[in-house]
């Protein structure tokens, strides 16, 4: 066989096509970067909007039920918003009241735990004496005094973060009320403002995205319920007090990825330590680690992949990427953002795909079985 040689014409055509595709990809990436930059500059407005949308997906079924039973939109939105606030306040009370009632016992347990830790450190193999503890304490005080400026800066920053969080919460609640009240009228109004085909495409994608956000919130609530159930059952078996508040705290903290789980686990281990001792605290820690591993690797990927139409591996990769790019907020928004991207991509595929309709085979006209004979009447000439 003769040796094959490269065609210069085909090679140049392939290079031109590759260069054109690369240039188009660069334009798309540049546009994406510009959009992300704009979103970052508008984050103080976008973040309350995102929180309001997530809260609205959680409370919309109740508002829709009331509206279908004759309630006016404003009244239904007001009742649902007030009910949500009462439930949130009740959750805080359910956690705070039992903890406050046993605060004395918990404080005594903390002191006893510190004393036990000190006695254990003074024995083998550490053999840390009281003079060493005192010198370490003095060194810590001196370091704190030298870092007063840094501590004040961090305190001011923390206060600013808390204030921004309160402002975001209040704004999100107001937006949730307006979304519950006027939400069904938004898409028709928005469609009338768009020209041409956008009046059909954008509302369709928005409606599918709304369904996706609802599926995300429901799946996250189910995952939090499973966490609270298994961790609460483990705490009850071990005999740790405040099981119900800890279970509620676990459910609520499931909506805040990573930090929420760490905070709830830390509180549960601390209460187990000060009330039951080191052995039960280690058992509780093992239970929390096992449940969190099951959540991150089994519950959350399976539930969210089914509810959002994403593969479990995509969910894991999205959470990892979101956390590395934007921290806690990125982890929280990674899965719904990935699901929304999948919605847009699937819609684009539907619109850009070539649908070829095969011609139907020649068949005689169907005869209606129930049709009677055709009667024609002729007028006499």
Domain boundaries, the chain: 42-182, 194-352
CA distance 82 to 360: 59
| Cβ neighbour number for residue 264 with a 10 Å cutoff | 25
Give tens-digit pLDDT for 202-227. 888 888 888 888 877 877 788 888 88
Nearest Cα residue to 248 out of 271, 224, 223: 224
For the cut 50, the answer to whether the pLDDT of residue 375 exceeds it is no
Asked if residues 77 and 177 have their Cβ atoms less than 8 Å apart, the reply is: yes
DSSP letter string, 134-198: HHHHHHHHHHHHHTHHHHHHHHHHHHHHHHHHHHHHHHHHHHHHHHHHHHHHHHHHHHHHS-TTH
| Selected residue with higher pLDDT from 82 and 146 | 82
Torsion of CA 203, 207, 210, 211, to 10 degrees: -170
pLDDT digits (tens, 9 = 90+) for 34-65: 987 887 788 778 888 888 888 888 888 888 89
For residue 81, what pLDDT is reported? 92
pLDDT value of residue 80: 92
What pTM was computed for the model? 0.62
CB 236 within 8 A of CB 243: yes
CA distances from 82 to 85, 88, 158 (A): 5, 10, 29
Q: Once rounded to an integer, what is the mean pLDDT over residues 305-312?
A: 66
| Model confidence band, residue 8 (pLDDT cutoffs 50, 70, 90) | confident
């Amino acid at each position: 066989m003769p040796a094959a040689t490269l065609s210069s014409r085909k090679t140049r055509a392939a290079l031109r096509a590759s260069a054109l595709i690369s240039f188009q990809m660069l334009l798309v990436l540049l546009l994406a970067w510009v959009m992300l930059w704009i979103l970052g500059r508008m984050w103080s407005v976008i973040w309350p909007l995102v929180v309001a949308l997530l809260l609205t997906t959680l409370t919309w079924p109740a508002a829709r039920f009331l509206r279908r039973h004759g309630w006016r939109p404003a009244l239904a939105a007001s009742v649902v918003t007030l009910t949500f606030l009462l439930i949130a306040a009740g959750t805080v009370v359910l956690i705070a009241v039992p903890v406050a009632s046993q605060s004395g016992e918990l404080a005594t347990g903390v002191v006893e735990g510190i004393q036990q830790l000190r006695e254990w450190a003074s024995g083998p193999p550490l053999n840390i004496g009281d003079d060493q503890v005192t010198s370490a304490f003095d060194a810590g005080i001196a370091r704190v005094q030298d870092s007063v400026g840094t501590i004040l800066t961090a305190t001011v920053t923390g206060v600013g973060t808390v204030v921004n969080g309160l402002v975001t919460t209040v704004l999100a609640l107001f937006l949730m009320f307006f979304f519950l009240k006027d939400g069904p009228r938004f898409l028709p109004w928005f469609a009338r403002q768009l020209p041409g085909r956008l009046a059909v495409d954008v509302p369709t994608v928005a409606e599918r995205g709304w369904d996706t956000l609802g599926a995300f919130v429901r799946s996250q609530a189910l995952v939090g319920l499973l966490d609270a159930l298994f961790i609460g059952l483990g705490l009850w078996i071990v005999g740790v007090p405040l099981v119900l508040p800890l279970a509620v705290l676990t459910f609520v903290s499931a909506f805040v990825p990573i930090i929420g789980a760490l905070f709830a686990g830390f509180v549960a281990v601390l209460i187990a330590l000060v009330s039951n001792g080191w052995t039960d605290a280690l058992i509780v820690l093992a239970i929390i680690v096992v449940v969190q591993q099951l959540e991150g690797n089994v519950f959350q990927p399976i539930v969210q992949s089914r509810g959002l139409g994403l593969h479990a591996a995509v969910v894991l990769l999205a959470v990892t990427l979101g956390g590395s790019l934007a921290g806690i907020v990125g982890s929280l928004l990674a899965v719904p953002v990935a699901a929304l991207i999948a919605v847009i991509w699937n819609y684009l595929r539907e619109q850009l795909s070539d649908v070829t309709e095969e011609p139907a085979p020649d068949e005689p006209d169907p005869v209606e079985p129930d049709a009677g004979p055709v009667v024609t009447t002729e007028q006499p000439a």
